Amino acid sequence: DKDAFDKWVVMVPFALPGEVVKVRIWNNHARYSRADLVSVVVRSSARVEPRCSLHGACGGCQYQHLRYSEQLAFKTRQVAELLARTGKLTKLPLDRLVLPAVGSPKAYGYRTKLTPHYEGSPRFEGSPRGGLPVIGFHAHDSKVKLLDVVRCDIASDAINAALPEARASAAELIRRKASVAAVAGKRPVGGTLLLRDTRDGVVTEQQMQVRETVNNL
């Protein structure tokens, strides 16, 4: 009926509030559907061109196509709506549930921690990266497939400078783990790298004590 139709939710990644879009529905649930974005018919004034060439394929971040100031407002509202719904606080105004998100002075290069993943069984993607295995983030809408990421535009310059060496060291570790697992007749286990930009430089050790600066602290 019309009332049910008006309340039906269609989840469309990469569509923005206020846009008119053409979508392809590929999955239906009891109260909502999931769809892929086919084209934007009426574009939001807040839509911008993502800097990262992997945007849309990489699941590491989803909002680069949205102006940074609008990203902060959208994330604030998203958290408030989830809190209102799950906490049964729908009678309270959303702006009383969550304080506005605190933004960075930079729209890119602000992330000071990166945790790329690697698979247990190395997949070598050819010669352009010198035979390195896939080391990166989960592909968009996938909990299994990894996408190789050689640079992250939202990570700090220091992290991106340290990433090639970290990837090379990880590739050697992956090879050793695969060899040991093969001898033991076991399946090699994947893992996660750590790159943290601190006052002491970029560190990669999980247990290392470091100094951080947050605002003026």
Distances (CA, A) of 189 to 125, 139, 163, 176: 19, 19, 22, 11
Measured between alpha carbons, how far is 10 from 29 in angstroms, rounded to an integer? 10
Percent of the chain surpassing pLDDT 90: 57
Q: For the segment 20-40, what is each residue's pLDDT rounded down to a tens digit?
A: 999 999 999 988 999 999 999
Residue with tokens 């939710």: 9
Give the global pTM: 0.83
What is the mean pLDDT of the segment spanning 134-154?
A: 91
For 200, the token pair is: 């002491």
For 30, the token pair is: 């009891």
DSSP 49: -
Measured between alpha carbons, how far is 184 from 178 in angstroms, rounded to an integer? 10
pLDDT, the chain, mean: 88
What is the mean pLDDT of the segment spanning 91-114?
A: 90
